[in-house]
Every structure is written in C-alpha cells, then in structure tokens.
Structure 1
Amino acid sequence: MDTPTTSTLWSLRPVGEHAALRRVAQGAGFRLRVLPLQRLVARADAARLAAALTAPIRLYTSPAAVRFAATQAGGDLRRAGIDLAVGSGTAAALRCAGVGDARSPTRMDSEGVLAMAELQVLAGTAVGVITAPGGRGVLVPAIRERGAEVRVAEVYRRANLRGGARRLAEFRDDAGAVLLASSAEAFARLEAALPDAASARGRALRARPMVVSSPRLATLAARAGFLRVLIADGPTPAALVAAASRVAPVQ
C-alpha cells in the first residue's frame, strides 16, 4: 500500500456546506477538497413547518435544517417551548437564528439525542422534528413509540449531482487522501458512484482511509468494502479533523 505523502481531506458534504470544515482543516494544516455528489435544495411546506414550530418541543436534525427553517420562517426561530439540537453545530445554528437556549447532547448521534432528559416522558406531547427526507431516520419512530405526536417538517432535501468521475479518479490517485463522511445519505450516493469492489479502481478507492462520524456509518463503510475506517467523536468539523490527524500527516 502506498505511503501517504500529502495531507488532503476529501469531504462528502454537499456543495456549499464546507465553510466551517475548511476553516478547521486549514487551521490544522490540511488541505480540503470536495467530492461534489450532492447539493441541498429547499422544500417549502409552510403548513407543516408552522405545525412543527408550534409544538412545545422542537428537534432540529442538522445545521442545514435550522438555516432552511429560518429562511422559511422569516429569519427568527424563537418560539415558546424547548428547542433541541442533534449536536453542537446545530445548536450554534439555532443561536444564529435567535434561539439562545438550544440544548444538545454530549453524544452527537441519534442514540445521544434519544437519551436526552427532555425526550424521556412524551406521552400526549407534540414534538416538532425539523429535518430532511431520511434525516435521522431512527429518531422519528423512536419518539413516536414513546407516545409523542410527531410533527415532521422536511425543509430541505439532498439533490444528487451528475458527474464526479474526475474527482473520484483524483481521490483514488491521491496517496495521502482521507475521506470524511458524516451523512448516511451522502455515503449512499458515494457507494452508488464507486466502481465495483472487485475492480482495480474500486479496490484503490476503498483502500483510502475514511473518517466517519458514527458507528452506524462505520458499519456502512465496512459493508461497502472500505478497509481503513476510523470513527470520530462526532460530526463536527473539529471532531472529523481531529480523527483525520491520526491517520494523515500534516505538512
């Protein structure tokens, strides 16, 4: 196997969603490149969003969910009740949207969210989930099973981009590349775009180390044939870059 001689992080985040990750990567001495497989597109449904925002408990599943909801709600998401975020990045986005007391778990995944005290006794309580199609798919069924009335507002979706073959080839040929993945949807798009694992190109791509944000993503990566998978402490740029620093040199 070739020895890493560069320090390039390759991100699966959608186009336009890399500003914070780029700052952290550059601050740690890495270069950042993007595999342009998806972009985010607004899904406007004023009635569903209004219903979710008037629930006494609201759960936002990503910073993008906050941004799209804020745009559709006139820029300010402050409402009576409790606002929950899946992680610190989503909580920060809520603060930018006027919500100063958003709560987030220490463990920034579905299991961490479901362990929050605010989601333990839910019988007869409405919970608004502001998300995207397929976003945090474990959460809605689990919250509903606890007796809550779940009001889902899908405020954006991931649109697949055509092409990407050239960037995939560049990723394959980058001896020091590390792939960053924090979304099952983005990873599924990558897997669909990869050459067959039995081919030389497919093996070369899967030989690159991958940093993922959760054990669930690690399982998906292993099933897809990736051989060097490292689980970060969470989906934040800082956590992903810190994990990458353990497998890639900084020049």
Structure 2
Amino acid sequence: MDTEANPTHWTLLSLRPRGQHAPMRRAAHALGATTIALSPWALRARGDAATRAALDAALGADRVIFSSPSAVVAASRLARLDAPHPGQWLAVGSGTAAALQRAGARDIQAPARMDSEGLLALPALATLDGLRAGLVTAPGGRGIIAATLQARGAQLLRADVYLRQPLPLSPRTLQRLRHAATPWALAVSSADALARLLAELPGDLQAPLRQAWVVAASERLATQAEAAGFVHVVQADGPLPAQLVQAAHRAITRRATC
C-alpha cells in the first residue's frame, strides 16, 4: 500500500448551516476536493423581549455555557459579552471559545474534547448543587447538556438565542450531487443535520450516499452513522472544519492506495 499517493479528485459534502461553508471549502480545496453544500437549515437570531430576558438571566448564572459559535454571535447582538460577569463561562469547544474572545469575553474554559461529553467532564461542572447554570443555545439537539446540568443539581436558566430554520435541498444541488466526482466524504458534526439529510435525500441518491466516507466529529456521531447504514466511517480529531477535512483526505487516500 502506497500511503503517500493522493486521490486526484474527490467531493466533500458539507452539512454546515447556510452561509457557513467557507471554512470547509477552503480546507477541502487545499486538499484537492470540491465542496457541495447540503445545508439542512439556516440560522435565525432571535431578538424578542422574552429572549432578551432569558439571556440576561442566563448570563448572570454561576456557570454559563455557550453551545456554539452561533450562540455567541446571536447573544452578542442582544447583550454585551465583554462586561464583567460573576460566574464561570464555558464553551463547548475552541471555536466557541474563540467567538467569545472576539466578543470581548475573558476567562473562558473549554474542553480539549470538543463535544457535549467533553464539556460536561470539565471540573467546573462536576458539582452543581445549589448553583444556577445558564445555557445559551438553540432549540433542538440531544439535550444532554441541559439534562446533565439539572441531574447534577443545577437550576437551569436556558436562553434559546437563535433558531434553526429547515431548508429543502434544491433541485440544482441534487443535480450537482448526482454528477459529483467520487469518492465522496460526508462531514458530520450534528446528528440532527445527518438525520435531516437522510430524510430529504431522494431515493436514487440514498445508496450512493451510503457508500460515502463519513467523517464524524465524535465517537457518538460515528456510532450513529454506522447505525444509519454507512459502510465507511472514520472519526476526526474534532469538529473543526480542518480536522474533518483532513480526516476525510486521510481515509480516502488510504483507501485509494490499498
């Protein structure tokens, strides 16, 4: 097996929200891939009075968790994040922590393992009896963060600062997919996004998709992809675009040269 050879061309399938594919495209282009955007939804920030009140309460908690960079951006439109805060602020990963720093927040903790399980393993969230835990997020997802915070004794103060608006797959996108160069690599960092893709995809594309390499951002997502019938599944080092694309390239290269 020649592990130094590279595939001449391949296609990366991105499940990022609409308008957030650029980092994937750049990373994929550098490694010889074309990217097809299969956005399952668009993100819509909320700005109503109830959301503002919920965010104010969450930001005043003893522990404040931001679930994504999008949560940070939406929150920063409603409240100052650079003001002094009484509690410990935590981010689910380095991307979310960087977004908080750009918004002026300081003293942010983030786990090396960038997923819900890694976040919940942080010492700051080990014992929460009698404490208030703010969760700045969006509706949907697995809910493991909220459930675990409450199970550990916290009073949960949740602020859903943005929404996911479902998007249909356009006929033009589907035609691009039908003619896309193989092999395909599907980058998965959200179980909900994968489920929506499988529900929306026409029948003639279901089998070809199952032959794609799935590059999962976590062990949990890899297990879910296998359960959904994908044959080739690998786990990336994390959920960042560069990590997902590099894992895809490694898997495809090894397969092509075996």
TM-score, normalised to structure 1, is 0.89
Tell me what 2:132 maps to: 126
Separation (CA, whole Å) in 1 of partners of 2:225 and 2:249: 19
Give the aligned residue type for 2:132: A
Describe how 1:168-179 pairs up with structure 2 within 5 A: 168-174=174-180, 175-179=182-186
- State whether residues 82 and 106 of structure 2, in contact with CA within 8 Å, keep that contact through their aligned partners in structure 1: no
1:181 aligns with 2:184: no
Separation (CA, whole Å) in 2 of partners of 1:28 and 1:67: 30
Describe how 1:201-240 pairs up with structure 2 within 5 A: 201-240=205-244
Instruction: Give the direction of change, closer, same or farther, for the CA distance of 1:125–1:241 in structure 2 (3 Å limit).
Output: same
TM-aligned CA deviation for residue 159 of structure 1: 0.8
Separation (CA, whole Å) in 2 of partners of 1:204 and 1:128: 42
Partner residue of 1:149 out of 155, 162, 177: 155
Separation (CA, whole Å) in 1 of partners of 2:80 and 2:149: 28
Tell me what 2:256 maps to: none
Bigger shift: residues 84-93 or 100-109: 100-109
- State whether residues 131 and 152 of structure 1, in contact with CA within 8 Å, keep that contact through their aligned partners in structure 2: yes
Describe how 1:92-107 pairs up with structure 2 within 5 A: 92-107=98-113
Structure 2 unmatched runs, 5+: 1-6, 254-258
1:42 aligns with 2:49: no
- State whether residues 172 and 208 of structure 1, in contact with CA within 8 Å, keep that contact through their aligned partners in structure 2: no
Structure 1 unmatched runs, 5+: none
TM-aligned CA deviation for residue 23 of structure 1: 3.2
Runs of 4+ in 1 over 6 A off after TM superposition: none
Tell me what 1:109 maps to: 115
Give the aligned residue type for 2:34: R
TM-aligned CA deviation for residue 172 of structure 1: 4.1
Separation (CA, whole Å) in 2 of partners of 1:89 and 1:136: 20
- State whether residues 21 and 237 of structure 1, in contact with CA within 8 Å, keep that contact through their aligned partners in structure 2: yes
TM-aligned CA deviation for residue 59 of structure 1: 0.4
TM-aligned CA deviation for residue 38 of structure 1: 1.3
Separation (CA, whole Å) in 1 of partners of 2:236 and 2:88: 28
Separation (CA, whole Å) in 2 of partners of 1:241 and 1:153: 32
Give the aligned residue type for 1:47: A
Identity %: 47
- State whether residues 130 and 155 of structure 1, in contact with CA within 8 Å, keep that contact through their aligned partners in structure 2: yes
TM-aligned CA deviation for residue 72 of structure 1: 1.5
- State whether residues 58 and 84 of structure 1, in contact with CA within 8 Å, keep that contact through their aligned partners in structure 2: yes
**SS of 1:134 mapped into structure 2:** coil
- State whether residues 24 and 237 of structure 1, in contact with CA within 8 Å, keep that contact through their aligned partners in structure 2: yes
- State whether residues 171 and 177 of structure 1, in contact with CA within 8 Å, keep that contact through their aligned partners in structure 2: no
1:139 aligns with 2:138: no
Partner residue of 2:33 out of 12, 30, 34: 30
Separation (CA, whole Å) in 2 of partners of 1:165 and 1:74: 42
TM-aligned CA deviation for residue 226 of structure 1: 1.6
TM-aligned CA deviation for residue 25 of structure 1: 3.0
Separation (CA, whole Å) in 2 of partners of 1:43 and 1:49: 11
Give the aligned residue type for 1:185: D
Q: How many residues align?
A: 243
TM-aligned CA deviation for residue 217 of structure 1: 1.7
- State whether residues 217 and 236 of structure 2, in contact with CA within 8 Å, keep that contact through their aligned partners in structure 1: yes
